Amino acid sequence: MAAMDNLTPHKFQVTRAQREALNNHKGLVIWFSGLSGSGKSTIASALEQQLHLQQMHTYSLDGDNIRLGINRDLGFSTEDRTENLRRIAEIAKLFADAGIVVLASFITPTEENRNQINSIIPAEDIVHIFVNCPLEVCEKRDVKGLYAKARKGEIKNFTGIDAPFEAHQKPDITLHSHLFSVQQCVQQTLDYLHSTHKIRKS
């Protein structure tokens, strides 16, 4: 009986390359930035469905599973929003390392936020999508009634109202969700991912 004391304690972990070979695709972070109501999550969900139909291994990170989970201790101050995004970027990095195509949909309001994300996730592992929808369109939609509350002062630090949103300076893709349908936005994204070989064409 060879007890563990006699063994070299080296770890021979399964590698990222082995996981990607099993999945038959690479891990990747697809990060959607844009105002509340711009359509980030809707487009991300539609894209995820397409990828899943192509047998790709996907996961979505959004407010629903992050703000109610790991980041339940964080609020919406500038400092907390920065920490919120730092943690999300670190989690997205783990998923990419796991060989998953992870879709992250978060307002990500400032260039500093996006630079922080890029300092965590290597450039080859992330695609930045700017869902560029005018504030007035997002506010008119007001799907969750949040803009109305923010205008009344019932919500503080709401992006676009009393917290800044800076246009994305160097996104890989810009989607004009007020001019094109969800499926058109998804197709534009797929065209980019295929042409840059970020994902293979099935």
Give phi and psi for 27, each to the nearest 5: -75, 150
- Least CB distance from residue 52 to its own copies, whole Å? 5
The answer to whether 60 contacts its own copies (rule: CB under 8 A) is: yes
185 binds its own copies (CB under 8 A): yes
Number of residues this chain uses to bind its own copies (CB under 8 A): 58
Taking CB under 8 A as the rule, does residue 167 contact its own copies? no
How many Å apart are CA 83 and CA 71, to the nearest integer? 9
Residue 80: Cβ within 10 Å count: 14
Amino acid residing at 62:
D
* The only residue of 29, 48, 108, 128 in contact with its own copies, by rule CB under 8 A: 48
For its own copies, the binding residue among 179, 191, 200, 202 (CB under 8 A) is 179
> Is there binding between residue 34 and its own copies (CB under 8 A)?
no
Question: Which of 57, 114, 168, 198 lies at the binding interface for its own copies (CB under 8 A)?
Answer: 57
* 10: CB partners within 8 A, 6+ apart: none
Q: What mask, x for binding its own copies by CB under 8 A, covers residues 66 to 105?
A: ---xx---------------xx--xx-xxx-xxxx-----
User: Judging by beta carbons within 10 Å of its beta carbon (0-12, 13-18, 19+), is residue 38 exposed, middle or buried?
Assistant: buried
Q: Cα 25–27–28 angle (5° rounding)? A: 120
Q: List C-alpha distances in Å: 6 to 11, 12, 97, 109, 201.
A: 15, 17, 32, 54, 49
Residues that bind its own copies (CB under 8 A): 1-5, 7, 9-14, 18-19, 22-23, 39, 41-42, 45-46, 48-49, 52, 55, 57-61, 65, 69-70, 86-87, 90-91, 93-95, 97-100, 120, 133, 137, 140-141, 143, 177-182, 184-185
